Amino acid sequence: MAQETFDRQICPELEPLSDDTKVQIQKQNKMNHGCADCYCPDFIPKRYIFSFVGLLASTLAISLNTNLSLAIVSMVDRSNESIIQVKSSNECLSDEISPFDLVEEKQAGHHGEFHWSPETEGLALGAVYYGQLVGFLPGGRLAELYGGKRTLIAFLLLASICTTLVPMAARLSVYSFIACRFLVGVGTAPVIPVLFYLISRWVPSSERSFNASFILAGYGVGAFLSFLTAGVLCASDFLGGWPSVFYIGGLCGFTWCLLCYVFVYETPKDHPTITAKEFEFISKNLGPTEQKQIERIPWKSILLSVPFWSLAIGYFGQFWILGFYSTTQALYMGTILNLDSITNGELSCLPPLTRGLFACVCGYPADWALKRGYITVGFIRKGATVINSVFSCAGFIAIILAGCDPTLNTIFFTVGGLLGDFITFGVCMAGVDIAPNLSGTVSGILSFVGVIPFFVIPALVGWSTKYERSMAQWRYVYYCTIGVVVITTIIYVVFGTSDPQPWGTDDEEKSEEEQNIEEKQNIEEIKERTF
């Protein structure tokens, strides 16, 4: 079946395969691959199974990244901490609470197991993002060379092993602890690039908005589950309290690797039980570009490409929005609104969940309109980007005007970031559009760009509130964010495109002689099978 599509591209004069031949090929695939997928009913489309396993992958990745955020509160002894000499905002304190009550509560502290300084804590929390900077590009390229399934399993297995070792590493030394968290970041980094690479192989272009949203909704669901379960586990005596967060996280990672090994295949043609109808539907709707492996990365063409740079700038702006709503809500509501940690945690876990679910709801209508020709792929990519930017900027302004009301602030944080996961069928899928045969590498580069705001935003907040934590100082952060979002969005909308670029579709460094030899070999293989 796969070969039939390929045969028609190389030799259009060949007759299509008969139904009996298709059935025999399918049986042969089953014999070659064994019965690893026999647990999956045939009536479930295999691309849906891939999407579900992809959802679990993104859920796992963000959970392993964020589980330390709450666990470290129980790990570190804060009983002897001195009060930092920073002018704190009292503008949102209740009349029944005096600043002296807050000082006494802080001095009571928390008796944890480790005596780490705030600087060490910050380094430990940021280590996972430094690891991601290292892992993005290699992961995407390895997927193109050795397969997305193998790459995803190998990297997430590394992250799961290191997560399980975190308690032991922390008790050994702070340096081994930070090294483990760094490797967790390396292991989770390629998840987005590799998933988009596999989407380009498995999901028809008319279904990509919904499927991409569904798969990456795991980042919202994972953050929600991570905050929810980590707090409960740390407060319990199960497996020692805080270590159980990492033991259970590692166990979930091992379970996912097994699921991926059993149920996911590299391409539809490799799947032993895919139906002829589904295979034909996928093959005919993957896009106008023939799938092939690009052996050498055309760095010069990429670096001189206006569509690539405009997309990278748009990517930076959209991930600035995501990073802002992901990292600052709890800090703002804790330091400005002065909410207690339990209330803060409950309110902070809602926006990421609603963000992921809403993207799935909106992804299906986008696919429906695209399938019927009402809109173009480029319109979806740019439209999703513009709408997300408008909503987020409106959210920033509303938060400034909300004052000290925690309910209003939660609503505006939720509504402003509600369309944050529109990036999945916005700028993220645009990388697959412009470089369908180099999607792993391009998505890796763009993911590297996208993680930069997660460093810059905390630094910006820290610099703005270094001497005074107040709403007035936070307004500078919001104004700066609005400026970044507006400028990057305009650049992407004006100069961006979703048309496949020559450097992302063909191996342009191959000589003409090599291409002719390869084409002749393909034709000879087709003739041998045909006759």
User: Are both 369 and 339 inside the same structural domain?
Assistant: yes
Read off the pLDDT band of 494 (50, 70, 90).
very high
Nearest CA to 212 out of 367, 376, 435, 370 is that of: 367
Percent of the chain exceeding pLDDT 90 equals 15
More confident residue, 73 or 479: 479
Amino acid at 37: D
Q: Which structural domain, as residue segments, surrounds residue 409?
A: 299-500
In this structure, the answer to whether residues 200 and 74 fall within a common structural domain is yes
Task: Kindly report the number of other CB atoms within 10 A of residue 89's CB atom.
Answer: 19
Dmax (CA) for the chain in angstroms is 90
Q: What is the number of domains present in the chain?
A: 2
Any domain includes 511: no
Whether 158 has a pLDDT exceeding 90, the answer reads yes
Please tell me the distance from the alpha carbon of residue 188 to that of residue 65, in angstroms, as a whole number: 8
Question: Can you read off the two tokens belonging to residue 507?
Answer: 């191996």
Q: Let me know if residue 252 belongs to a domain.
A: yes
Of 60-74, 172-186, 257-271, 359-373, give the lowest mean pLDDT range.
Answer: 359-373
Using the predicted structure, report yes or no on whether residue 512 has a pLDDT greater than 60. Answer: no
Pairwise CA distance, residues 365 & 440, whole Å = 27
What's the whole-number mean pLDDT along residues 247-255?
93
Stretch 67-83: mean pLDDT: 67
The answer to whether position 513 is within a domain reads no
* Burial bucket for residue 373 (CB in 10 Å: 0-12, 13-18, 19+): exposed
pLDDT digits (tens, 9 = 90+) for 166-213: 999 988 988 999 899 999 989 998 888 888 888 888 888 778 777 877
Does 181 lie in the same domain as 55? Answer: yes
Direct distance between the N- and C-terminal alpha carbons of the chain, in angstroms, rounded to an integer: 17
Choice between 272 and 18, residue whose per-residue pLDDT is larger = 272
8 Å CB contact between 213 and 355: no
Final residue of a structural domain among 223, 256, 286: 286
Highest mean pLDDT among 100-114, 295-309, 400-414, 477-491: 477-491
Q: How far apart are CA 392 and CA 481, in angstroms?
A: 10
Mean pLDDT for the chain? 75
- Within this chain, do residues 247 and 353 fall inside the same structural domain, yes or no? no
Kindly state whether residue 12 falls inside one of the protein's structural domains: no
What is the pTM assigned to this prediction?
Answer: 0.69
Cα–Cα distance for residue pair 232/230, rounded to 1 Å: 5
- Scanning 403-438, the segments in alpha helix (DSSP H) are 406-416, 427-434
- Residue 182 has a pLDDT of 92
Using the predicted structure, report yes or no on whether residue 30 has a pLDDT greater than 60: no
Q: Are residues 440 and 488 in the same domain?
A: yes
Q: Are 477 and 397 in contact (CB under 8 A)?
A: no
475 burial level (CB within 10 Å; 0-12, 13-18, 19+): middle
Lowest-pLDDT range, 85-89, 274-278, 386-390, 482-486?
Answer: 85-89
Average pLDDT, integer, range 283-297: 68
Residue from 357, 389, 360 nearest 491 by CA: 389
Q: State whether the Cα torsion 419-424-430-433 is positive or negative.
A: negative
Residue 95 has pLDDT above 60, yes or no: no
Contact yes or no for 225/59 (Cβ under 8 A): yes
Nearest CA to 62 among 288, 327, 375? 327
Which backbone phi and psi does 114 adopt, to 5 degrees? -120, 145
What 3-state DSSP class applies to 205?
helix
Residue 85 lies in a domain: no
Q: Is residue 145 part of a domain?
A: yes
Residue-level pLDDT at 521:
58
pLDDT, residue 429, reads 79
Residue 520 lies in a domain: no
**Which H helix or E strand runs over 289?**
none
**Pair 412, 338 in one domain:** yes
Q: Which residue has the higher pLDDT, 430 or 292?
A: 430
- H-type helices in 109-242, by residue range? 118-146, 148-172, 174-188, 191-202, 208-216, 218-235
Mean pLDDT, rounded, for 110-132: 74
C-alpha triplet 174, 175, 177: angle, nearest 5°: 65
Same-domain check for residues 377 and 490: yes
Q: Which of 236, 260, 286 is the last residue of a domain?
A: 286
- CATH number, domain at 56? 1.20.1250.20
Q: Contact at 8 Å (CB) between 57 and 191?
A: yes
| 303 in the same domain as 282 | no
Residues 332, 480 share a domain: yes
pLDDT tens digits along 410-441: 788 878 777 777 777 788 778 878 887 777 77
Q: Is residue 394 part of a domain?
A: yes
- DSSP calls for 34-88: TTTTTTS-TTS-HHHHHHHHHHHHHHHHHHHHHHHHHHHHHHB--TTPPPP--EE
Pure H helices in 205-349: 208-216, 218-235, 243-263, 276-284, 299-303, 306-327, 329-335, 341-348
pLDDT at 81: 47
**Among 286, 309, 331, which residue terminates a domain?**
286
- Separation between Cα atoms, residue 481 and residue 489, nearest integer Å: 12
3-state secondary structure of 468: strand
Q: Residue 306, Cβ neighbours under 10 Å: how many?
A: 11
Pair (347, 472) in one structural domain: yes
Q: In DSSP terms, which residues pair with 114 in a beta bridge?
A: 76
One domain for residues 187 and 65:
yes
The pLDDT assigned to 163 comes to 93
- Residue 338 predicted with pLDDT over 50: yes
Tell me, yes or no, whether 174 and 314 share the same domain.
no
H helix and E strand count, the chain: 23, 2
